[in-house]
Amino acid sequence: MTEFALRQAAFLPYIEQMALQPISIPSDAVDRSSEERGASLRSWAWSSSLLGWCRLTEIQTGAGFRVANWAAFPRFDVDVPTCQAELIEVKGRLFLLVLDALYASPDGTGPATQELRSASRELESVLPVQTRPEWSEGFITDAAIWSRTATADALDEGVKIFHWFMGASVRWMRGSLDGRADARAAQYRRMRRRFLDNEPSRPFMTKTFGADWSEAYMEDFLFPAREREHLAQAALTRACGP
């Protein structure tokens, strides 16, 4: 089986362009292995003057299940979108692709929305999902690239559009201070609650890496509780203690 195309090294050029600095978190809080299931989960986190919390999760199993999950959360007072990207490969085929940029505007859309719509129309193998779960409303925009096309051709195209999205995110994340900190904080709280109530990977995570560890990982790393000041501090406090 070929090497996973979206391993952590593939993200390093974008991380450098975003001027992200690594956040040190104890490995036992964010990395996990299951010998029984031949699975490993590895995680990394960063922050910058504009982005309070950026994180990457990489999951691989011996059965050919591979995941790259990226999210970049702006500081509440900065006018840039929350960018979310996930690609899941199963035995050389695309299982899931989700790429989105969510703004603090009332409808969640902003300058990147039209770019996402245009990119989606140009895809050939990656066919969009027409029906999405109800809980994703307000969490993922209508313009998001969302596909479950289970073919090898779609996987190749999915990886390419994933890289396009990361490059575009570098541009989208050049923001400035604005007056929407309260709206952005409220939006994040809604997103976090919906995620924790509905996270579709919970059954896999629980069976593979254990229920207690997985719940803590989702609450502290994937969507950490955060106040207006600094996202990173919330996760570090939970991971390392006060």
Distance CA 77, CA 67 (A): 31
Q: What is the pTM of this model?
A: 0.91
Q: What pLDDT tens digit does each residue of the chain (242 aa) get?
A: 688 999 999 999 999 999 999 998 899 999 999 988 899 999 999 999 899 999 999 999 999 999 999 999 999 989 999 999 999 999 999 999 999 999 988 889 999 999 999 999 999 899 888 788 888 888 899 999 999 998 999 999 999 999 999 999 999 998 888 888 898 899 999 999 999 999 999 999 999 999 999 999 999 999 998 753 444 454 444 455 54
To which residue do tokens 């939006």 refer? 187
Residue 220 DSSP SS3: helix
To which residue do tokens 């969009």 refer? 128
Nearest to 119 by CA among 151, 138, 147: 147
Alpha helices in the chain (DSSP H): 12-17, 27-30, 111-122, 152-172, 181-198, 202-209, 211-217, 231-240
- Which residues are bridge partners to 51 per DSSP? 74
Contact 122, 160 (CB under 8 A): no
Domains located in the chain, CATH noted: 8-240 (3.40.1500.20)
Contact 101, 170 (CB under 8 A): no
CA angle 101/85/183 to nearest 5° reads 35
Distance CA 151, CA 196 (A): 30
Contact 123, 145 (CB under 8 A): yes
Distance CA 119, CA 144 (A): 10
Distance CA 166, CA 18 (A): 10
